Copies of this chain bind each other. A is one copy, B any other.
Amino acid sequence: MKHLLAVDWGTSSLRGAWLDATGKVLEERSFDRGILSVAPGEFPVVFQACFGNWMANPGALCLMSGMVGSRQGWLEAPYCACPAGFAEVAAQLAWVEPGRIAIVPGLACEHEGLPGADRTATPDVMRGEETQIFGALRLLGLEDALMVLPGTHSKWVRVRDGRIQSFSTFMTGEFFALLRQHSILSRTLPAADGGVDRAAFEQGVAMALRGPSLLHTAFSVRTLALFERLPAEAMPSYLSGLVIGEELRAQALPAGAHVVVIGSPALTQRYQTALALQGASVQGVGAQAAWTGLWAIAQTLPPALSKAA
């Protein structure tokens, strides 16, 4: 293989990295061109505008992951069923241009259904996170792990023998934004988030961990403000603690759990703080996990494609 263009094309952002034959990142670019901003049929044009000069290199290969493989993306890449290992995902690439541009499939997983007559399996899905997960496993040299990829829709993932066994989505980041911007609580919160107030954040986490539900604990933002027990500028950190704490409460982690957090340094820091309140230890992996995952998939391509690449 010569060079690899690794692309993480999500709902609201587009990131690309140019890797040499050894997997070293030579350059990165990011654009405000998530798939929601791209009209149907315009994906090739946007791709060319963002990465055309890199792809002009003879033998360049591009692998993409994320919502670009969804029904609203460039080309729909059918989901791989869990449990799924690195090899299955790598074998089911959806080729946009054979030998040149491919999309990594997302994963689907069936949660246990309801007992009795109401038996209805509830599916869960991810796109893009699977690539970061396989990248993180390589970076950390792990085959078994409990992982979380925090964000708008956080994913909690169980990996055994190098295979993703199951995962669950939590709409944590989206609930924060809804409460922050559109709920009655927004009247209590200052316009800007400011820095993280660690004490207020931890107070929110502790409140949420006691349960019983965010439906109830969220109301404390209003009452703590009403009785002036927490200053307005601490409220965004408190609310952040409430939603992240609710996500952690739902995991019912055993004592001394070890959790791999894949995400930005700022979010990883918040999860580390919150997990520490539960006595869990944390190992953090940054955004390079996506590049490592895509590069590893590129290495598995059959000789014909490797040659083309």
Contact = CB atoms under 8 A, between A and B. Distances in A.
Interface of A: 114, 118, 120-125, 153, 168-172, 174-175, 178-179, 181-184, 202-203, 206-207, 210-216, 218-220, 223-224, 226-227, 229, 243, 246-247, 249-252
A247 B211 CA distance: 12
A122 B207 contact: yes
A170 B224 contact: no
B212 A214 contact: no
Copy total for this chain: 2
B216 A214 contact: no
Tell me what chain A mostly uses at the interface: helix, strand, loop, or mixed. Answer: helix
A244 B219 CA distance: 16
A250 B212 contact: yes
Given A214-B215, A219-B153, A227 B123 contact: yes
Nearest to A175: B215
Contact of A216 (B125, B211, B216, B250): B250
Contact of A219 (B171, B202, B215): B171
29 contacts: A114-B203, A114-B210, A118-B203, A120-B229, A121-B229, A123-B227, A124-B219, A124-B223, A169-B219, A170-B213, A170-B215, A171-B216, A171-B219, A178-B178, A178-B179, A178-B182, A178-B183, A211-B250, A212-B249, A212-B250, A213-B214, A213-B246, A213-B247, A213-B250, A214-B215, A215-B243, A215-B247, A215-B250, A216-B250
